Every structure is written in structure tokens, then in C-alpha cells.
Amino acid sequence: MKLLIDHADIDKIREIYRYYPVDGVTTNPSILAAAGRPPFEVLREIRDFIGPDAELHAQVIARDAAGMVKDAKRITKELGMGTWVKIPAVPEGFAAMRELSAEGLRITATAIYTPMQAYLAAKAGALYAAVYINRVDNMGFDGVKVAKEIHDIYTKNGMDAGLLCASFKNSQQVLELAEYGVRAATVGPDVILNFVKNAAITSAVEDFIRDFEGLTGPGKTMSDC
Ligand code: G3P
């Protein structure tokens, strides 16, 4: 399962890249609004940092298919053809996905709450379906279960699309979907930076260091031996 950062703050992205093996960055219009700067300035900064081969996802804003197609072409012109264009999985979006996927653009169908949206998006040529785990939970359904249903629809029908699970509240949701074999998860810094935060783990590592220093002296490491 690929792991992406769902955020646009370059400092947070740098911090997470320093520690964790991540595969790219996803954004949405709300995330870009929170960044508070011109959208392409922020997206280009992210692209420059993560490099041309890492995944970068940016979303169209227009409500109609023609406008979405125009937005998509501007996104790929500014950020490179390899950039993933997020298009909402609604009727106008399906029309745009069909046109853009035929032209070879990489499409991430987004704002997915139901298996039917994901099924139609895959048929329209999207290669990722961004299902919103926590938002589905908040509607009184089971987001992880919905994601698993979509994964089964894709695999049992031999569809090319895979899941880009999004909107996570905790690491358990991420792990459960990794165990199920979904293609990717995009996770906010607040959840990623708590992936490995556990007193037992910290204490085990500190015990090893203290025992070793008992042998070699305070502050000594393997390099000093
Ligand atoms: O990018 C869309 C998705 O990640 C939304 O997440 O946390 O706003 O529900 P959230």
C-alpha cells in the first residue's frame, strides 16, 4: 500500500519526508485554502520538494465537465503530465473523467462516499478512487467497510482502478486497509506523526542505550568503540 501525505504545508511535508517512507502528497481545495497562498505557488513548491516521480494530486474546481477538463489541463501544464488530477465522482465529473482519461491524464476520482460512485468512476477511466473513511463514519456508516467493498468490486471485476483511501482519524483505520491490500492511503500529518508514538517503544530504545552506556560510558555509541 502506498502512503501519501494529505496536506500542503511544506514544513510538515519536509518533516514527514525526513522520517517516513512516503510516496507523495495529495491536496484538495480546502487544504490549499488553509495554506493561504496562491494555489500553484504552493503546489509547485511541493512538486519541487518531492521531485518529478513522486505522486502529487491536485483537484479541479469547476462544476461542469468542460470547466473540469480546462482545470485539469492547467494543472498538468503547471505541474507536469504525471500529476494526478482529482475530479469529484459526480455526473459532470464522470463526463470529464472519460474525456481526460482517453487523453492519457491520470485521474483520481474524489469525494467518494459510496461503492456506486467508485464503480462508475473506474468505468469512466479513473485509476484511483479517493474514498473518505472518516467522513463516511460520521454519516453513521462504516468507512473501512465501504472501502473494502469498493476494493472487492475492483478486484472481482478486474478493473484497473485502485483505492486511494483518505480522511483518516487514526492509524488503526490505515493498518486495517493495508492488511486488506488497498492500493494507497493518504493521511494527514496529525495521524502520521502519531504512527509510532508509544511509551513502550520509547522506553525499549532508551533501555538499550542506557545498558550500552553502562558498558562504554555516557554518550558513547558504536562509532566510538
Ligand atoms: O482529501 C480529501 C480527504 O482527505 C478529506 O479528509 O480529513 O477533510 O475528512 P478530511
pLDDT digits (tens, 9 = 90+) for 148-200: 999 999 999 999 999 999 999 999 999 999 999 999 999 999 999 999 988 88
pTM: 0.94
Output phi, psi for 18, to 5 deg.
Answer: -60, -35
Output phi, psi for 74, to 5 deg.
Answer: -65, -40
CB 148 within 8 A of CB 92: no
27 lines ligand 1 (CB under 6 A): no
Report how far ligand 1's centroid is from the alpha carbon of 169 (Å). 10
pLDDT digits (tens, 9 = 90+) for 64-95: 999 999 999 999 999 999 999 999 999 999 99
Predicted confidence at residue 199, as pLDDT, reads 84
Q: Find the catalytic residue in 2, 86, 148, 169.
A: 86
Average pLDDT over the chain, rounded to an integer: 97
Q: How far is CA 184 from CA 174, 210, 214, in A?
A: 10, 39, 44
Residue 186 Cα: closest atom of ligand 1: 4
